[in-house]
Each structure stands twice: as C-alpha cells, then as structure tokens.
Amino acid sequence: MYNKKQILYIVNGETGFINTDEKILRSFSNVRKIVIETVFDCFKLELLLNFWFADSILIWFASTHTIPAVLLNYFFNKPLFIIAGGWDVANVPEIKYGGMRGGSRTVIGRWLLRRAYKVIAVSKSNRDEIINNGKVHFSKVKLIYNTATFNKHHHIRKRKNHILTVGEINMDTFLRKGLDYFIKVAQRLPEKSFIHIGKWTDSNGRPCTTMINYVKNISPPNIQYMGFVNRKELDKYYNESRVYLQLSRHEAFGISAVEALMGGCQPIVSNCYALPEIIGDSGYIVKECIVDETVDYINTIFSSEYNLFKPTSISIRRFSFEERKKSFMSIL
C-alpha cells in the first residue's frame, strides 16, 4: 500500500495562495499545518512533535516565523524547503520595500535561506532576487510557478466597459501595487468606469478608516471601491470586465493579474519584476511613461470593435494546480 509522505507546512498567516498550496499538498501527502507568529513559538510542543514525524518541512517566506523551524532543524536535519516569494528577498529602495535592504533583517534572511535544503521561487524574476539579494547559489533554487485559480460562470458575449484592479490597500501596498497610478489614469479618463476590489487594512491587517478616507479623498468619482468580495463575486468581475490594470512597482508573481488573464480581461501591466514574465504577449506592458502609455492602451482597446480576449492555453498552463502539484511532488 502506498504510504503518503508526512509534510509539515509552516506559515505566518492565512492567504489565498497559502491555502491553495495547502490544498495541493493534501492532494498527495499528509499535511500538518502550523501557524507561527513569534520566535517563542519554537517552544510549542505541537511544533516539536510534528517536526519529529515529518518527512520534510515546507515554509512560506524566509522571515522571523521561519527561525524556530530552522533552529530545530539543527537537531533533526530534515529536508527543509523555503518558498521565498515576496518581501523576504526584495530590495526596492525607491518605495522602501523588501527584507534585503540591509541591516539585521537581511542578515537573518540570508542565514535562513542558507539553511534551507532548497529555496523555491515563484517566478524567474523572483529567482533572480533570491540569487542576487539572498546570496543563494543558483543550483539550490527551484522554480515552481504560483497557482492561479478562476471559475468561469458563464459565457460573456459582451463585456462591461469596466477597468479593474485587485489588491489589498494599506500604507505598504498603496505604492507597491501602483494604486497611485490607477488613480491618475482614472483622472485622465473621466468617462471610463474604474473598479477596485480589495480590503482596506493597517500594517497589522486590521480595517483602517484613515487609509479609506485618504484614498477616497484623492480619487475621482469614476472609481468605485468595492472592498472585499467573495471568490464567486471576484470571478464574476474578472469574467465581465474589459481591462485589468496591474501597475505595480514590485511583484514576485502577480496572482490577480493571472486570474484576470484566465477570466478573459485584457491585462495592462507595468514593466516591473515578474509581471512582464507572466503576462508575456497576452497583454500590454507599460515600459516608460506609466500613466500616458496606460491611457493610450486603454483608448486603443476601447476604440475598435473589440473581440473577446482569449488567452492561449499555453500561456496559463504554467500556473495550473496540476503543474504546481507535479513540481512539488518531484522535490518534497
């Protein structure tokens, strides 16, 4: 009888991509998930027992929550994998973003990455950050693209003339996700309908009225802020909107952009980090004058008898559940 592997899955919170990976892991292994928030969680009996029985350990992000597992592994010496897919290996000084901008966080981050058996990248751009910023040898880095999901509800004969963007809004993401560009583009196109979907939070993930008031005060009336919506509603917006904007200053992957692509939105993305890689020739890439070029691309899309955009199966197959599962099974 086939014995499933025992995988200890360590995370620092609950997000869509973390939960998707949990589903993938459970499809071929027995999984114990532990949420670690502080270094003191190293003393949890639950962590110690699960470490003892695990065949391998998979951790999302190389940050402080990773320290207990790395310390324990000095004694257990189990195959420990780190998915370094974001802030942990970034260095974007112009927006003061990233764990590799120097100081103690950089020292700790590089030490954690060195202690991993393998470091998993979610895009080629992210792989370059791991190698160049994290100082990890290329032979130790495994590229496994993130998974994006989309459930098509019905065939759309004619899309609504909406311009959509998706992402949580807080002081960190306002510039990183390019919401300032989104607002400026909307100001230039007052006759067009712009929609933003995503939670409003503070640095601790709690609802933040200060941020809501600030953003709405600088936004034109043609932007609708829908807040958080459930998965079914989100897919409906992807399915009905005509254009998707992702004008980020940093993206390790860009799950929302891929989901929009799967939903048939025409993507317009910035020429930053992973976005050109994941969109490829399936959309427009803004290279220099962000606002001017974006306005021109939107006008181009709206100016003609626009055919329904259909991404090729090749362009989205890389981001499927099955592809990520296959890659996980090959190394874990």
Give the pLDDT confidence score for residue 21 in this predicted structure.
97
Helical H segments across 167-320, by residue range? 173-176, 179-188, 209-218, 231-240, 255-262, 275-279, 290-303, 313-317
List the single range of 160-164, 188-192, 206-210 with lowest mean pLDDT: 206-210
Question: Could you tell me the CA-to-CA distances from 308 to 160, 243, 259, 312 in Å, in that order?
Answer: 11, 11, 16, 13
Of 148, 177, 304, nearest to 235 by C-alpha is 148
Residue 1 has pLDDT above 60, yes or no: no
Residue 155 has pLDDT above 60, yes or no: no
DSSP structural state of residue 147 = P
Structural domains present in the chain: 5-144 (3.40.50.2000), 162-314 (3.40.50.2000)
Of 164, 196, 182, nearest to 249 by C-alpha is 182
Return the SS3 of 307.
Answer: coil
- CA–CA dist 246, 229 (Å, integer): 18
In total, the chain counts a number of residues equal to 332
Give the pLDDT confidence score for residue 312 in this predicted structure.
54
19: how many CB neighbours lie within 10 A of its CB?
Answer: 12
Tell me the two tokens of residue 192: 């067009």
Return the SS3 of 30.
Answer: strand
Q: What is the mean pLDDT of the chain?
A: 90
Higher pLDDT, 313 or 175: 175
Asked if residues 184 and 291 have their Cβ atoms less than 8 Å apart, the reply is yes
Of 331, 324, 330, 234, nearest to 17 by C-alpha is 324
Residue 112 has pLDDT above 70, yes or no: yes
pTM of the model: 0.92
328: how many CB neighbours lie within 10 A of its CB?
Answer: 21
Residue 159 has pLDDT above 90, yes or no: no
Return the SS3 of 25.
Answer: helix
1: how many CB neighbours lie within 10 A of its CB?
Answer: 2
State mean pLDDT over 94-109.
Answer: 95
